[in-house]
């Protein structure tokens, strides 16, 4: 079966065909955090979903180029910089560092590139200049530059590819300066915002005077710079569909004329909202949680990741504390089974059982049917536990079972507690062994393997490279 995704552009389930003629390389862009505060659990649902997409692509043998931007200048950030009386970099640096820590806590793979908007001002200016050149943008009386929806539509292009828009009530030339606005108020949006006193020291020089970029143009500039003017996948939460993603399409397709009708992005995937205890998250309801607040309540990143991964990405998910307790119990069942298997396998390496892997894979390839994938995992746990109880597992079959788990876990990323505590000394030995193998010095590689074994560790080769496991 081929990998299928629900593409917001076509509103249908489509076979995923990468632009790369060999079908191997995939370019994937995810809208990253706006670093003005700690990311909340709703944000984390989207980032864990992005991680699932990347891991699934890699599981199916694709080579992914994963780009996630850091929005380090926008309306909200400028407001906070003013309120806290700090510099832009000082303010955003703190939340950016916290974001990367949290990403690690949730075992999300680090994107290959994490560009900052403020480090791409020349690219942003060049893109705006192109839009002006194409007659798709104009300078307003205050020197800000706006995107002209009327001209864009007149040029034969479609504004409203991801969402249906009603243009009857749209007033031509009406402008919106704010980065965030509602579908009902579709209007020309700001590409470059001229400097105002409230911006303080946050401004850059441009051909249109001092100012700063709008939020939407940041993503167009960074994604096209790093992935090309046409790439495979763009991900984000459904709240970004309008205006952010719609505006990204208009800016990118308006600036870069595609010779053969190519699109800016071929597949758009959107993750659904998250409720907390059945209600929309809000500070006034007391159900607004950052990841850090949940950790302070005694839950682990692993439990939170597990819970976030139990629902299909296109379904609204109800995050509850009962759910977190359930996650703890489910992980305990998995860990018990794995510990017994480890005891039996005694570090022997093996290949995964293709039957289980096929079942797990078929579920994921069907638009990330995570319930189907978990059903495969828990059937596997049940069957393995039965065999363990009957005492019918010998060392080779326990080793196959562990290899099966590791393969499935390369997508789930929940690991097991032991794996998170590999001492540096062991990691160094694993690295040295890898280097020896790469240099075809197999004698040295074997010596290092024996040394690891003597210290109670074994090296397993996984699709992600070598991994140390306790014997």
Minimum CB separation of residue 236 from Zn ion in Å reads: 6
Smallest gap from Cβ 31 to Zn ion, in A, equals 3
Is the CB of residue 374 less than 8 Å from the CB of residue 310?
Answer: yes
Least Cβ distance, residue 237 to Zn ion (angstroms)? 10
Run of H or E including 77: helix 75-84
- DSSP output for 294-341: HHHTT--HHHHHHHHTTS-TTS-EEE-HHHHHHHHHHHHHHHHHHHHH
The rounded Cα 76 to chain-centroid distance in angstroms is 22
What does the binding site for Zn ion look like in residue numbers (CB under 5 A)? 31, 219
Q: How far apart are CA 233 and CA 14, in angstroms?
A: 13
8 Å CB contact between 71 and 215: yes
Nearer to Zn ion, 268 or 374 (CB): 268
Taking only Cα atoms into account, the Rg of the chain, rounded to an integer number of angstroms, comes to 25
Q: Tell me how far, at minimum, the Cβ of 83 lies from Zn ion, in Å.
A: 24
Between residues 58 and 218, which has the closer beta carbon with respect to Zn ion? 218
Nearer to Zn ion, 46 or 404 (CB): 46
Nearer of residues 34 and 206 to Zn ion, judged by Cβ = 34
β partners of residue 28:
66, 233
Q: What residues contact 56, with CB distance under 8 A and at least 6 apart?
A: 3, 364, 365, 368, 411
Residue 145 or 219 with smaller CB distance to Zn ion: 219
Closest separation in Å from C-beta 244 to Zn ion: 6
The DSSP bridge partners found for residue 461 are 466
Return the number of the residue (31 or 186) whose C-beta is nearest Zn ion: 31
Are the C-beta atoms of residues 466 and 433 closer than 8 Å to each other? yes
The smaller minimum CB distance to Zn ion, of residues 52 and 117, is found at: 117
Min dist. Cβ of residue 303 to Zn ion (A): 29
How many angstroms separate the CA atoms of 115 and 69, rounded? 5
CB of 219 or CB of 221, closer to Zn ion: 219
Query: 420, exposed or middle or buried, with CB in 10 Å at 0-12, 13-18, 19+?
Result: exposed
CB of 114 to Zn ion, least distance (A): 13
Q: Which 3 state secondary structure label does DSSP give 368?
A: coil
The count of residues in the chain is: 471
Q: How far is the CB of 13 from Zn ion (least distance, A)?
A: 24
């Amino acid at each position: 079966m081929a990998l299928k995704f629900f593409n917001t552009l076509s509103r249908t389930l489509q076979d995923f065909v990468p632009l790369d003629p060999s079908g191997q390389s995939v370019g994937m862009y995810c809208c990253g955090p706006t670093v003005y505060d700690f990311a909340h659990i709703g944000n984390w649902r989207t980032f864990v979903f992005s991680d699932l997409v990347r891991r699934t692509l890699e599981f199916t043998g694709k080579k992914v180029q994963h780009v996630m931007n850091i929005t380090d200048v926008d309306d909200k950030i400028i407001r906070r910089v003013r309120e806290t009386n700090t510099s832009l970099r000082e303010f955003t640096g703190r939340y950016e560092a916290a974001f990367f820590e949290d990403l690690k806590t949730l075992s999300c793979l680090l994107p290959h590139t994490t560009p900052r908007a403020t480090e791409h001002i020349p690219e942003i200016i060049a893109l705006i200049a192109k839009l002006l050149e194409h007659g798709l943008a104009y300078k307003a009386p205050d020197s800000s530059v706006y995107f002209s929806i009327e001209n864009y539509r007149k040029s034969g292009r479609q504004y409203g590819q991801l969402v249906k828009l009603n243009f009857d009530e749209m007033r031509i030339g009406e402008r919106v300066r704010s980065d965030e606005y509602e579908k009902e108020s579709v209007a020309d949006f700001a590409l470059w915002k001229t400097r105002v006193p409230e911006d303080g020291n946050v401004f850059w020089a441009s051909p249109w005077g001092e100012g700063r970029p709008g939020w939407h143009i940041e993503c167009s500039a960074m994604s096209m710079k790093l992935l090309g003017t046409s790439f495979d996948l763009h991900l984000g939460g459904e709240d970004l569909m309008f205006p952010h993603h719609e505006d990204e399409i208009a800016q990118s397709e308006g600036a870069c004329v595609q010779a053969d009708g190519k699109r800016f992005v071929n597949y758009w995937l959107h993750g659904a909202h998250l409720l907390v205890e059945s209600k929309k998250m809000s500070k006034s309801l007391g159900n607004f949680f950052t990841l850090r607040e949940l950790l302070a309540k005694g839950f682990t990143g692993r439990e939170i990741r597990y819970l976030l991964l139990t629902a299909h990405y296109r379904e609204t998910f109800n995050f509850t504390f009962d759910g977190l307790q359930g996650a703890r119990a489910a992980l305990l069942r998995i860990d018990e089974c794995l510990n017994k298997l480890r005891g039996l396998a005694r570090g022997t390496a093996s290949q995964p059982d293709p039957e289980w892997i096929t079942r797990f894979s078929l579920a994921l390839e069907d638009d990330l049917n995570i319930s189907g994938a978990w059903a495969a995992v828990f059937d596997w746990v049940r069957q393995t536990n039965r065999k363990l109880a009957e005492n019918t597992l010998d060392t080779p079959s326990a080793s196959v079972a562990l290899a099966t788990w590791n393969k499935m876990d390369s997508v789930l990323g929940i690991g097991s507690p032991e794996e998170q505590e590999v001492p540096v000394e062991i990691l160094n030995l694993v690295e040295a062994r890898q280097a020896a193998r790469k240099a075809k010095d197999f004698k040295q590689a074997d010596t290092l393997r024996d040394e690891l074994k003597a210290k109670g560790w074994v090296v397993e080769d996984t699709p992600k490279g070598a991994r140390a496991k306790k014997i």
